[in-house]
Structure 1
Amino acid sequence: MLRCAGLVIFSQISWAQDAPAALPYSPDAIPLSQYQSGDAASSAVPDPFAISTVPQGKEYFLAIYSGSTSGVYYYVASAICDTLSMTYHQHHIRCVALRSQGVGSNRDLMTQGRAQMIIVQSDTNYYASNGEKPIPGARSVMSLHNEMGVLVVSKNSDIHGVADLRGKRVNLGPEGSASRNQALELLTAYGLKPADLGRADAVTQDANAQGLCSGYIDAFPVWIGHPAQVVDDVARFCGARLVGMNGDGMENLLHQHQYYSHQTLPANLYPGQDQPIESYGFKASLVAYEPVKPYIVYWLTRSLMEHLDVLRAKTPNLSMLNAREMFEVGNFLPFHEGAARYWREIGWLQDGGPKGPPDIDESADQ
């Protein structure tokens, strides 16, 4: 699966003592010795200082948990770090991309107080906001790229929509997996059951390309950030076609689930795909942990938005980012105070709260 995960933010000096009592806070991805940089080797806590007067040698650290190094989120995390590094002189935040085991493990990391920021899908954000699958202390920052669903079908098949899967051999993904649950929901929306298929396989998603190109399956559904290597490979090497999931079933899903959004795949993104494709999917969603200082989250948000063209160019998966959608779509949790300050500063969030850069420090560093 190309579903990856999260951001983790760190800063200098001591961290365990600063967390709100109700929220655990013990990040563990970077050794404690690395929290102390420059002239921060002393145990003394620096006086509060404003963004415009960052003392020489003081640094903060941002580590991005992101899932498999072959996954989309890993490249997104790396792109975020690269973009943030462009404005280092303004904030003194250093950033690195790290691996994780995916969205589920990143939820667990934040719940345990070990992750300061995570990248998840918008449904995770939604279920956290309504308490169905809570993540204590989770706050929205922004949404990122689309994770649009498509059917990838064999070259000579007569599949032109979801309803055409009846009687076909389809890999729905392993039993109990998120990919299979997603596929079953799609079938149900179009009045289909696994028994209506010619064969409903339960094979890992890693086998999709081999299964389709060898003629063992006729199709597989996938929700992913585009362009995706697995889709490009089967389109290039065995002439696979892409089919959208649009139709009445899709409209019902959009009506039932707020975390889905209508999405369009531009023409010519993949070999042989000469027309736009209409479908639906998630937004990748950036979520911060409440104990993280507003200073760090503010500068992350500001640096990405002020250098959006750079961020888009870092990886193809981010090439279609839309600034307004990054604020308006998929952010179901309340905004983290650092992100909220930036959104207020540019006039998009009008809730009467404080605007502009927060001070670096109000007490000890986290």
Structure 2
Amino acid sequence: MKQIICAAAIAAFGAGAAMAEELRIGTATLGGAFYPIGQSISNLVNKYAEGDISMVPVVTAGSVQNPRLIASGEVELAITNNNLARLAVAGKGPYSEGALDIKAVAALHPSVLHMITLEGSDIETFEDLKGKRVAVGPAGGGTLGFLDFLLPLHGMTTDDITPSFLSYADGFSQLTDGNIDAALALSGYPAGAVMQAAAGAKLKYIGFSEGKMEEALEKNSAYSAVTIPAEVYGTAEAGTVIGVNNMLIAPASADPDTIEAVVRAIFDNLDEFKAENANAKQIDPEASKTLSVPLHEGAARYFGD
């Protein structure tokens, strides 16, 4: 029965049927920023979307998996980042099995790669992770995409670390318990998992050695350098981290009226979104016009593209 209901919802989403639509938005594991953002978006859609539309957030492995979930019809909208969306549409990188027919819906907050250890640790830069126990996020999460990019940049492979594939919440809990040496999380800031760890331990950012950040940004223009103020997590110093902008995506076949209704519910009420979610304060509506993949027709109607 559940499969029949899901199939009907997907059919309605694609065909623009008048029946009630419960849209599922793919987020990530608990402890990062995607799930709270998805929850806030769902709240706005449920409150303001025109037509008989509702939305629920769904826990997923994260930004790498989400384009596949869109393509397979397991969710109707999802959050990923600019770089992964571009690779998914091109059928490259993690999506070398074939290009995915997805479109952009809207720009969201940026995600940054939190590279964190405990204050007093001998880990100072990325190279110092060699031989260490590192929580790298869940399989299918966006952190692994960054790790696959940064390891070769530093002359390293996954064999040089002992990775633990944990949710962000579990990874940072293991860090404060002393079971691992460092934890990584690709998330907006403040990230729930890092905040929870900071409540019980003094944290320290793992940085880049001289010239490495510049080399990384030169190799991939989708990435940027972001400074996180020291007061965000109570660290001794601000952290300069690598980041990427995020976006909301949908199937190319999604009904334009439904997509426009979702976008309108979000961006006509952006002040309420920002009041409910700290990461939403970093959303720039104009960025939706310059994403790495084309806007869906319904979104283009709203943003005037």
In the alignment, the residues of structure 2 paired with residue 29 and residue 319 of structure 1 have an alpha-carbon distance, to the nearest angstrom, of 36
Paired residues for 1:109-124 under 5 Å: 109-124=69-84
| Alignment of 1:87 onto 2:51 | no
Larger Rg: 1
In the alignment, the residues of structure 2 paired with residue 301 and residue 33 of structure 1 have an alpha-carbon distance, to the nearest angstrom, of 19
In the alignment, the residues of structure 2 paired with residue 174 and residue 300 of structure 1 have an alpha-carbon distance, to the nearest angstrom, of 30
**Residue equivalent to 1:312:** 274
Residue 166 of structure 1, CA deviation: 6.2
SS at match of 1:97: strand
In the alignment, is the contact (CA less than 8 A) between 1:141 and 1:335 conserved in 2? yes
Paired residues for 1:187-202 under 5 Å: 187-192=151-156, 200-202=161-163
**Residue equivalent to 1:262:** 225
Identity %: 21
Task: Please tell me the residue identity of whatever aligns with 1:128.
Answer: A
Residue 126 of structure 1, CA deviation: 1.1
Residue 184 of structure 1, CA deviation: 5.0
Match for residue 289 of structure 1 among 248, 251, 254: 251
Residue-by-residue CA offset, 1:10-49 (whole Å, 9 max, x unaligned): xxxxxxxxxxxxxxxxx9664749999xxxxxxxx88xxx
Residue 193 of structure 1, CA deviation: 5.6
How many residues matched? Answer: 292
* Cα 1:305/1:280, change in 2 over 3 Å: same
Residue-by-residue CA offset, 1:92-127 (whole Å, 9 max, x unaligned): 432222344544553333323454322223232010
Match for residue 182 of structure 2 among 219, 240, 245: 219
In the alignment, is the contact (CA less than 8 A) between 2:224 and 2:243 conserved in 1? yes
* Cα 1:183/1:101, change in 2 over 3 Å: closer
TM-score by length of 2: 0.78
Paired residues for 1:340-359 under 5 Å: 340-344=300-304, 349=305
Match for residue 91 of structure 2 among 111, 131, 137: 131
In the alignment, the residues of structure 2 paired with residue 174 and residue 81 of structure 1 have an alpha-carbon distance, to the nearest angstrom, of 25
**Residue equivalent to 1:171:** 134
In the alignment, is the contact (CA less than 8 A) between 1:144 and 1:318 conserved in 2? yes
TM-score by length of 1: 0.67
SS at match of 1:205: coil
Task: Please tell me the residue identity of whatever aligns with 1:65.
Answer: G
**Residue equivalent to 1:250:** 213
Q: Could you list the runs of 5+ residues in structure 2 that have no partner in the other structure?
A: none
Match for residue 58 of structure 2 among 95, 98, 102: 98
Residue 79 of structure 1, CA deviation: 0.4
Residue-by-residue CA offset, 1:164-209 (whole Å, 9 max, x unaligned): x1666341648976645633532432445667x7xx2222334533
In the alignment, the residues of structure 2 paired with residue 130 and residue 150 of structure 1 have an alpha-carbon distance, to the nearest angstrom, of 27
Q: Could you list the runs of 5+ residues in structure 1 that have no partner in the other structure?
A: 1-26, 37-44, 47-57, 350-366
**Residue equivalent to 1:147:** 111
In the alignment, is the contact (CA less than 8 A) between 2:109 and 2:280 conserved in 1? yes
Residue-by-residue CA offset, 1:52-96 (whole Å, 9 max, x unaligned): xxxxxx7554332334455532222110021223424x4443222
In the alignment, the residues of structure 2 paired with residue 193 and residue 60 of structure 1 have an alpha-carbon distance, to the nearest angstrom, of 45
| Alignment of 1:77 onto 2:41 | no
Task: Please tell me the residue identity of whatever aligns with 1:297.
Answer: I
* Cα 1:127/1:323, change in 2 over 3 Å: same
**Residue equivalent to 1:325:** 287
Paired residues for 1:263-278 under 5 Å: 263-270=226-233, 272-273=234-235, 275-278=237-240
In the alignment, the residues of structure 2 paired with residue 245 and residue 154 of structure 1 have an alpha-carbon distance, to the nearest angstrom, of 17
Residue 245 of structure 1, CA deviation: 4.2
